[in-house]
A = this chain, B = another copy of it.
């Protein structure tokens, strides 16, 4: 059997190489590519996608998977490799390679249109491209057997096994509690955060962010950080895991939190078992679990009081004028200020999930046909008013703010909120295992925390499905109780509720 396994691994290795090559091209497109390079790049990505698809869904792979199906002991890496690969294979077989090539071309152009539309705050530039993306999504869904909801097909690609109705149920329970908490917070005395919106030097902020994630344990010998229109993490191998970031003068310190966030994704990827490289077990197990890592470092660590008890003297030294007269406690309160805001990635923890719920409703509306693309800016603004009581002054700060739809990633957003929930579930468990975690963080020590995450989560890559690894580590499946406890405790303290 080992010869057949080697044959399979050789093909899977080439498929992985093609995927990673495409990731390099995609990273370059975001970080470096000159203005007119897009059309050829789209063509190149289409070709890489097509060839990878052809190689993966070949009859040879099907035959090898069939032959190897019952050959390995359950729980062994080999058995999980065959299980995960077979599932991906069954799915991929349903999607014609012409579709993938078309999708690559459409989304490359849509990405460029989105960049321009966002820059000019003009939805009409993006609209025809998004309409094409939605058409493609409908086509994609049609390749699969009808589920309870057409959106199930999309969700399953990001969160294997999760159903739209489950997410809706978790969200509806959570929404009540978050809305209730926000009400209490808004009735309380508001915190002051004017010093966060002063002028901060971009390079100094950037360097401070890099100093933080260096202490976290992000390995610069196996990564780098660059400027891009949107922060993201991308993996070319466990030894080349890159992050991007941006600087927004109106919210200068958000660069720090984006660095922590993306480094959380990156440390996950850097920590995966090297034996899984060039197989479908490489990479994180799902977007929600991935997001649990980024959110854990950004929020549970990076917006905690112990963290700033360590870093506040340093940031005050870097920005003495801006932080003149500010105490660590008032800085801590300011970076956790709850305030309905327009931009999801800058939203506070208490309101963040409402941004997600809005997007989920719009995505479901696009998918089941109850909402038209042309109406999205208006629907967006109406719902923002309804959920958060505010209206975007323009589409750049509204419906155009996120990159996802331009890349055809519909079905993705809810995983952000699920990631928040998982991060809190993990946090409760970590604090049981590492009794003095707060004290370690206060001393700027993150090695025990990173080691725990490596050992319990990272190293397994895609070996376990998301719900299984959450269950294995925390004792329960994804649910919102720990997150609600975390939010309530944190904001009760900050706002004196």
A111 to chain B, nearest CB (A): 15
Contact of A37 among B14, B25, B44, B239 (CB under 8 A): B239
Tell me if A59 counts as interface (CB < 8 A to partner B).
Answer: no
Tell me if A71 counts as interface (CB < 8 A to partner B).
Answer: no
A37-B237, A39-B239, A236-B37 known; A44-B32 Cβ under 8 A? no
Please report which residues of chain A, range 179-224, place their CB below 8 angstroms from some CB of chain B when the two chains form the complex: 220-224
Q: Annotate A18-31 by CB proximity to B: 1 below 8 A, 0 otherwise.
A: 10111011001000
Question: Do B239 and A14 touch across chains, with their CB atoms under 8 A apart?
Answer: no
Contact of A239 among B36, B51, B223, B278 (CB under 8 A): B36
- Complex formed: what's the CA distance from A220 to B33 in Å? 11
- Complex formed: what's the CA distance from A238 to B37 in Å? 8
Contact of A14 among B14, B20, B47 (CB under 8 A): B47
Residues of B contacting A220 in the complex (Cβ-Cβ under 8 angstroms): 34
- Complex formed: what's the CA distance from A25 to B22 in Å? 10
- Complex formed: what's the CA distance from A24 to B28 in Å? 8
Residues of B contacting A102 in the complex (Cβ-Cβ under 8 angstroms): none
Q: Annotate A254-294 by CB proximity to B: 1 below 8 A, 0 otherwise.
A: 00000000000000000000000110000000000000000
Tell me if A41 counts as interface (CB < 8 A to partner B).
Answer: yes
Question: Do A222 and B37 touch across chains, with their CB atoms under 8 A apart?
Answer: yes
Residues of B contacting A21 in the complex (Cβ-Cβ under 8 angstroms): 21-22, 25, 44, 47-48
A39 to chain B, nearest CB (A): 7
Tell me if A146 counts as interface (CB < 8 A to partner B).
Answer: no
- Complex formed: what's the CA distance from A173 to B495 in Å? 88
Contact of A236 among B14, B40, B222 (CB under 8 A): B40
Copies in the complex: 2
- Complex formed: what's the CA distance from A341 to B20 in Å? 43
Tell me if A438 counts as interface (CB < 8 A to partner B).
Answer: no
Question: Do A240 and B24 touch across chains, with their CB atoms under 8 A apart?
Answer: no
A43-B278, A48-B17 known; A36-B236 Cβ under 8 A? no
Please report which residues of chain A, range 53-108, place their CB below 8 angstroms from some CB of chain B when the two chains form the complex: none
- Complex formed: what's the CA distance from A240 to B43 in Å? 13
Instruction: Classify chain A: how many residues form its interface, as a range.
Output: 35 or more
Tell me if A496 counts as interface (CB < 8 A to partner B).
Answer: no
Tell me if A145 counts as interface (CB < 8 A to partner B).
Answer: no
Residues of B contacting A13 in the complex (Cβ-Cβ under 8 angstroms): 43, 47
Q: Which residue of B lies closest to A18 (CB)?
A: B47
Residues of B contacting A236 in the complex (Cβ-Cβ under 8 angstroms): 37, 40-41, 44
Tell me if A393 counts as interface (CB < 8 A to partner B).
Answer: no
- Complex formed: what's the CA distance from A130 to B220 in Å? 29
Tell me if A35 counts as interface (CB < 8 A to partner B).
Answer: yes
Q: Which residue of B lies closest to A222 (CB)?
A: B36
Most buried by B among A28, A221, A278: A28
A323 to chain B, nearest CB (A): 31
A109 to chain B, nearest CB (A): 14
- Complex formed: what's the CA distance from A226 to B13 in Å? 31
A51-B51, A239-B37 known; A224-B14 Cβ under 8 A? no
Question: Do A239 and B25 touch across chains, with their CB atoms under 8 A apart?
Answer: no
A281 to chain B, nearest CB (A): 16
Question: Do B35 and A221 touch across chains, with their CB atoms under 8 A apart?
Answer: yes
Question: Do A221 and B34 touch across chains, with their CB atoms under 8 A apart?
Answer: yes
Question: Do A239 and B17 touch across chains, with their CB atoms under 8 A apart?
Answer: no
Contact of A34 among B50, B240, B277 (CB under 8 A): B240
Please report which residues of chain A, range 226-240, place their CB below 8 angstroms from some CB of chain B when the two chains form the complex: 226, 236-240
Residues of B contacting A221 in the complex (Cβ-Cβ under 8 angstroms): 34-36
Residues of B contacting A239 in the complex (Cβ-Cβ under 8 angstroms): 34, 36-37, 39-40
Residues of B contacting A44 in the complex (Cβ-Cβ under 8 angstroms): 17, 20-21, 24, 236
Beyond A24-B24, A34-B224, A51-B51, 4 additional contacts (C-beta under 8 Å) are A20-B44, A34-B221, A40-B236, A40-B238
* The 4 A-B residue pairs with the shortest CB-CB distance in the complex, in nearest-first order: A40-B237, A37-B240, A17-B47, A36-B239
Q: Which residues of A contact B (CB under 8 A)?
A: 13-14, 17-18, 20-22, 24-25, 28, 32-37, 39-41, 43-44, 46-48, 50-51, 220-224, 226, 236-240, 242, 277-278
A-B contact list, 26 entries, CB within 8 Å: A13-B43, A14-B47, A14-B51, A17-B44, A17-B48, A20-B40, A20-B44, A21-B21, A21-B44, A21-B47, A24-B24, A24-B25, A32-B224, A33-B240, A34-B220, A36-B221, A36-B239, A37-B236, A37-B237, A37-B240, A39-B237, A39-B239, A40-B238, A40-B277, A43-B278, A51-B51
